[in-house]
């Protein structure tokens, strides 16, 4: 079919052609290793009927690996120069698959409409926007059933952490509201150009039905309050949210949660119960 992936020389040639000098400070780290993008697509379990949403395709390394496996790839790119070049790159490297690509020029944090409902999210995300991008897209597109994202290793740890650990926090609970997650491995620094100063990790997820009975916004409000002062007990941390410390204690006890516990010890089900008790007793305090 005449398809091929980008190698190190291709990536550098494309960047030079576009006048791009990637810098570590902007989080511009392009994947130059074909085996890595093949691995990502394989671990993402992309199928022939999937409509894949790719965020930040950059020069197209991952895009070219996704196209043979998916029915369609919708690439959202905020950089107009990169967005404009991507269709031409695909036409050159995978001409028979060019009709599977749609490019949307825009900010993934703000996108709410796409040419077709996506079923999978596969992306190499800059660490500083990874969490808000993933959470926004899961909230905006209920059709996203599964996916895999490459993020900074520390971010991967947060997104997949369970209750009780130091890295467990707001991203962990909110991600758990949407999906089951797992660490799908690590990615070495040498597969990027330029070589980053941080390690990367893969996070795979499968959407699950959310806890019933309480709107997401109300559950997330409890989560935000609980971790805003994570060293405090829930009785103290939720005082502002509940109206007073006494009201917080009544809600917590009604939800079968120890008022002396801290947010890091609770799973998403417990946060949902807390929000539900507040909802059931609007007169508190």
Residues annotated within a binding site for S-adenosyl-L-methionine: 29, 31, 56, 77, 107, 124
Q: Element (H or E) spanning 45, and its range? A: none
**Are β-strands 101-105 and 120-124 bridged in parallel, bridged antiparallel, or unpaired?**
unpaired
Which has the closest alpha carbon to 122: 162, 69, 172?
Answer: 69
Q: Report how far residue 63's alpha carbon sits from residue 6's, in angstroms, rounded to the nearest whole number.
A: 10
Cα 194 to its chain centre, rounded Å, is 23
Helix (H, G, I), strand (E, B) or coil at 97: helix
Buried b (16+ CB within 10 A) or exposed e, 10-28: bbbebbeeeebebeeeebb
Q: Report how far residue 134's alpha carbon sits from residue 151's, in angstroms, rounded to the nearest whole number.
A: 11
Helix (H, G, I), strand (E, B) or coil at 7: coil
Provide the residue count of the chain: 285
Q: Report how far residue 130's alpha carbon sits from residue 158's, in angstroms, rounded to the nearest whole number.
A: 11
- The Cα diameter of the chain in Å comes to 69
* Binding residue ranges: 29, 31, 56, 77, 107, 124
Q: Report how far residue 71's alpha carbon sits from residue 52's, in angstroms, rounded to the nearest whole number.
A: 8
Alpha helices, H only, 153-214: 153-160, 170-178
Structure tokens at 220: 């997330």
Which has the closest alpha carbon to 201: 250, 157, 140?
Answer: 157
């Amino acid at each position: 079919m005449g398809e091929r992936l980008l190698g190190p020389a291709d990536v550098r040639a494309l960047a030079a052609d576009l006048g791009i000098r990637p810098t570590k400070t902007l989080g511009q780290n392009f994947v130059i290793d074909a085996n890595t993008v093949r691995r990502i697509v394989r671990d993402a379990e992309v199928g022939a009927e999937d409509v894949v949403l790719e965020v930040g395709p950059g020069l197209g390394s991952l895009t070219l690996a996704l196209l043979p496996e998916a029915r369609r790839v919708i690439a959202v790119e905020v950089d107009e120069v990169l967005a404009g070049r991507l269709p031409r790159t695909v036409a050159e490297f995978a001409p028979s698959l060019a009709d599977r690509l749609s490019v949307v020029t825009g900010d993934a944090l703000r996108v709410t409409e796409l040419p077709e409902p996506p079923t999978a999210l596969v992306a190499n995300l800059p660490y500083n926007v990874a969490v808000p991008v993933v959470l926004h897209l899961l909230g905006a597109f209920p059709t996203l059933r599964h996916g895999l994202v490459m993020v900074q290793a520390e971010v991967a740890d947060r997104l997949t952490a369970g209750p009780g650990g130091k890295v467990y926090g707001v991203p962990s609970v909110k991600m758990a509201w949407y999906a089951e997650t797992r660490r799908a491995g690590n990615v070495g620094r040498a597969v990027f150009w330029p070589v980053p100063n941080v390690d990367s990790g893969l996070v795979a997820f499968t959407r699950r039905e959310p806890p019933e009975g309480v709107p997401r916004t109300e559950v997330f409000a409890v989560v935000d309050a609980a971790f805003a002062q994570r060293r405090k007990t829930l009785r103290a941390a939720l005082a502002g949210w509940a109206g007073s410390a006494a009201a917080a204690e009544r809600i917590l006890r009604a939800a079968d949660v120890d008022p002396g516990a801290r947010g890091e010890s609770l799973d998403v089900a417990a946060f949902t119960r807390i929000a539900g008790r507040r909802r059931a007793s609007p007169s508190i305090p």
